[in-house]
Amino acid sequence: MAHHPLYSDLCQIAGSKYVADSDFAVWAYAKDSSAYPARVPGIVVRPNTAEEVSEIVKLANQHKVPIVPRGGGTQFGGWPPGEPGKSICVDMTRMRRILDVNELNKTVTVEAGVTCAELEARLLPKGLYAHTVFSPADSVTIGGMVCGVFGGGGQMFAGLASNWPTIVGVKAVLPNGEVIETGTRTNPHAKMFFRSAVGPDLAGLFIGSMGIFGIITEVTLDLFYWQPHREVGAVAYKYERLDDAYQAIVKLGMHEPKLFSLCILFGLGPLAQTDWQLLYRAQGHSREELDRKLETTARIIEDTAPPDAWQPADAVGYATEFLLHGHDFPPHTLGMWTIMEFLCPRDNTLEIFKALSELIVEELRGWEDRVLSGGCSMFMCGEQHYLSFGLYHKESDPEAREKALSVSQKGNILGLEMGGFKLVLNKEGGDICAAMMPPAYSNWLRALKKAMDPNNIMNPHMLLLP
Ligand SMILES: Cc1cc2nc3c(=O)[nH]c(=O)nc-3n(C[C@H](O)[C@H](O)[C@H](O)COP(=O)(O)OP(=O)(O)OC[C@H]3O[C@@H](n4cnc5c(N)ncnc54)[C@H](O)[C@@H]3O)c2cc1C
């Protein structure tokens, strides 16, 4: 088989051991963790330094070949298309050094390919943590996390989610191959110790960008002190009692000081008859602090719902399992997933939640054996709520896959029209959001992309961009 036209050049840059263009190698990079179609790159390269990344980007520009950066490949809204059979997939997982743990400045700087689990394993013995994502921690890279959802959670659940403010800055290779640093590194004499920059906060251009403005090679995150005392709690509500459960989660969320490191309202099973489980995890620097939080929580739950609405004991076993092993939770046994998710303002979360549940129940009528509703969850995410609904099908059933994807498409449009907001701007989800952008905003995005990437090599065709 003939090699990709840039095979020799890429071997010169990264070393032949780290370049592959055989069918079986490129297919391994064709999908994310969703049911959306595969998009096969032409070649894969695994750089080791920012300089190598810069050389690759310059080469791609010279030959006008698209680049698709890749971390753990775990995103779930459709893998970027690039140009199938031609694009260069830049796999960042070789760049996995933890560069600096600065306990005094409370920052940690890592290369983009470090996984959340690796970072946590390194920080925990020092009594520290950084905000990462809920799961799958052993695959999600810090670079992918910053470019992707970064809605949060974190294996340690040591703070309410909404992680974007905890990003201090990035080092990135721009589409023209230049290497830049944001934040306090806009003063070349300073360390990366604060998000504030000379001029506007351009780190934000990369956060949630899905890699359309460049390749992140390093990330600096805030560090926090680990809270050693922790306890998991749970309360189960009968399915008619969703409103009671929601009232409880709202009251808990509004309490100051914050009571939880994590709080979820979880509905397992068919949506029409779901029992609701309010799961929470409280942490404290001392036993007294933790006990105070737990007592306040119990009081709020008791005051919010009538005594027959909930049972304290039923859900504890499930909660413990779910919260300790975030990415092993039961729906994964159900097959391939398609996930709908929204960030919602507190004042209309419940309406969006109910409308989506009804849509899913209605749409799946007659399909119950082939597309399973894996239930739903409502995470407290800072002052907002994060909703997710999982559908599951067997990959051997292409009609079921199409059905799951079409229900998800309808749900995504409904949720957006009701005022929800999507954090996942991957190919398919991102296109739906971009279609709703006011023209002035999409023109601004187009102009920015064109100015930064005139040859359109960096993750093209995302967000309805060319
Ligand atoms: C089971 C499961 C549970 C999840 N739970 C959560 C959760 O609780 N909270 C949460 O926030 N997320 C969650 N996610 C989503 C996941 O954390 C994000 O999609 C994350 O962005 C993926 O990181 P990754 O390294 O796998 O990136 P990839 O999937 O490889 O890439 C994501 C996007 O970023 C681009 N990209 C990757 N690396 C770089 C880089 N270095 N520079 C520029 N662009 C780059 C890619 O081109 C792609 O567009 C979950 C995913 C799964 C599968």
3-state secondary structure of 434: helix
Q: What are phi and psi of 219, to 5 degrees?
A: -135, 140
Given ligand 1 and candidates 75, 157, 180, 457, which is best to mutate, with the most ligand atoms within 8 Å of its CB?
75
The mean pLDDT of the chain is 90
Report CA(124)–ligand 1 centroid distance (Å).
22
State in Å: Cα 114 to ligand 1 middle: 12
- φ, ψ (nearest 5 deg) of residue 39: -130, 105
Q: Which CATH architecture has domain 7-93?
A: 2-Layer Sandwich (3.30)
On whether the CB atoms of residues 286 and 229 are closer than 8 A, the answer is yes
Query: What integer pLDDT is reported at residue 410 of this predicted model?
Result: 97
Specify the pLDDT at position 262.
Answer: 79
Q: Give tens-digit pLDDT for 335-360.
A: 888 999 999 999 999 999 999 999 99
- Continuous segment of H or E residues that includes residue 237: strand 229-237
**Residue ranges per structural domain of the chain:** 7-93, 96-225, 229-417
**Where do we find the tokens 């796999």?**
91
pTM of this structure: 0.94
Which residue has better confidence, 392 or 307?
392
Topology alike, domains 7-93 and 229-417: no
Of the chain, the percentage scoring pLDDT greater than 70 comes to 91
Question: Which residue puts its alpha carbon closest to atom 53 of ligand 1?
Answer: 74
Q: Determine the Cα angle at 418 with ends 415 and 421, to 5°.
A: 55
Residue 152: the pLDDT is 62
Is 233's C-beta closer than 6 angstroms to any atom of ligand 1? no
Q: What fold does the segment set 229-417 form as a domain?
A: Vanillyl-alcohol Oxidase; Chain A, domain 3 (3.40.462)
**Ligand 1 mutation pick, 46, 54, 67, 70, max ligand atoms within 8 A of CB:** 70
pLDDT surpassing 60 at residue 328: no
Element (H, E) at 335: none
Ligand 1 pocket check: which of 48, 53, 135, 458 to mutate, most ligand atoms within 8 Å of Cβ?
Answer: 135
CA 143, 132, 187: angle at the middle one, nearest 5? 55
Of the candidates 110, 159, 168, the one whose C-alpha atom is nearest the C-alpha of residue 133 is 159
CA of 235 to the centre of ligand 1 (A): 31
Atom of ligand 1 nearest to the CA of 216: 42
- Which one is the CATH code of 96-225: 3.40.50.880, 3.40.50.300, 1.10.3720.10, 3.30.465.10? 3.30.465.10
Judge contact between 198 and 238, C-beta under 8 A. no
Q: Which of 30-39, 107-116, 371-380, 427-436 has the lowest mean pLDDT?
A: 371-380
